[in-house]
Structure 1
Amino acid sequence: MTLLQTRTPPDGFRLVQRWELDSVHALAGLRSSLHEVITGEAEMPAEDLTETPARIVLVASELATNALRHATAPRTVRLFARDHELLLDVVDHDPATPPVVSGGRPLGEGGFGLRLAQRLASQVGWYSRGTAKHVWASFPVTDHETVACGPRALDGMRLGPRSQAVA
């Protein structure tokens, strides 16, 4: 059992979208909506983890599931963007309990969400501020990704009055 590294995400991200989660039943809607925000497409194709959108959706689902199972409400998933990078931030209100990366559990017994995030994201970390705990993961977005996922498309996407720095 290993604690996830405590660190804040890099600066310069702007809020794209946020989702409030009240139960595991909200996860399917989160996955679908997140995929649409990133790609501009309502339907999720079969997962191809070589594609950034699929990796982001999978990591969001894993981190959100952890927040729903192990932490207190409210629980929020936020997507941030800056040039050539997307950042997921999953917020819960159990700041005293650090995220733990699973160790030697047999496959099928769960507990691999943070390990999966570490494999699929470029950076993963966590920090607490006030009554909130943030677990975050960042993903590079290259020019060959889908147009809606590219940095120029995200510059204008839902970044109006809801824009804010990562807090």
Structure 2
Amino acid sequence: MDTMTSLPASLPYPRAAELCRWELGAFGDLRDLRAALRQAVAGTMTTATGDAVERMALVVTELATNALRHGLPPTVVRLLREGDRLIIDVADHHRYAEPAVDAGRPLGAGGLGLQLTQTFALDVGWYATGLTKHVWASFPS
């Protein structure tokens, strides 16, 4: 039984303004990314709870890890805002690798990043440009 499902292909919030941008070249950059995202989010969320900030930090880590592991460098992470939404947008340069969720993978077997993202985010999607593939997730601000 095939348990792989594609994320919806869609552009996120076209009028979103970029708040922060980070470029990652290696897995060692993830720790600094999490800390910087926590700081940026805590300064922009109006109804932020510690749990909401930690969920966003987990999602950015999962999406950036996927981009570093399965994409082509560099990985670019952006924090965007449109209205009452914060959007995490993670890009890599492997634009033909469509992200897919393995819904049948058991817990503890790894590869649950997109499932966690779908659980914690309001909405999730992906799109490709001329050079990059982006996976994004939105959260209430």
User: What TM-score results when the alignment is normalised by the length of structure 2?
Assistant: 0.90
Q: Which residue of 2 aligns with 1:64?
A: 64
Give me the identity figure in percent. 46
RMSD over equivalenced CA pairs, Å: 1.4
CA distance in 2, matches of 1:93, 1:76: 9
Aligned to 1:22: 25
1:83: how far off? 2.1
Task: Please say if residues 103 and 115 of structure 2, whose CA atoms lie closer than 8 Å, have aligned partners that are also in contact.
Answer: no
State the match for 1:74 in structure 2: 74
Question: 1:109 offset after TM fit, Å?
Answer: 1.5
Task: Find out whether 1:126 has 2:129 as its counterpart.
Answer: no
Larger radius of gyration: 1
1:124-156 Cα deviation digits (max 9, x unpaired): 000101010010001112xxxxxxxxxxxxxxx
| Secondary structure in 1 matching 2:28 | helix
Choose from 3, 8, 33 the match for 2:6.
3
Q: Does 1:55 align with 2:55?
A: yes
- The letter of the residue matching 1:39 is A
TM-score (ref. length: structure 1): 0.76
Q: Distance in 2 between matches of 1:137 and 1:5?
A: 11
Unaligned runs of 5+ in 2: 44-48
Q: Secondary structure at the match of 1:138?
A: strand
SS across alignment from 2:40: helix
Alignment map for 1:16-165 (pairs within 5 Å): 16-40=19-43, 51-141=51-141
Which deviations, in whole Å up to 9, do the C-alpha atoms of 1:73-97 show, x marking residues without a partner? Answer: 1111000012211000000000111
In the aligned structure 2, how far is the partner of 1:66 from the partner of 1:80? 20
Structure having the larger proportion of residues in strand: 2
Runs of 4+, deviation exceeding 6 Å: none
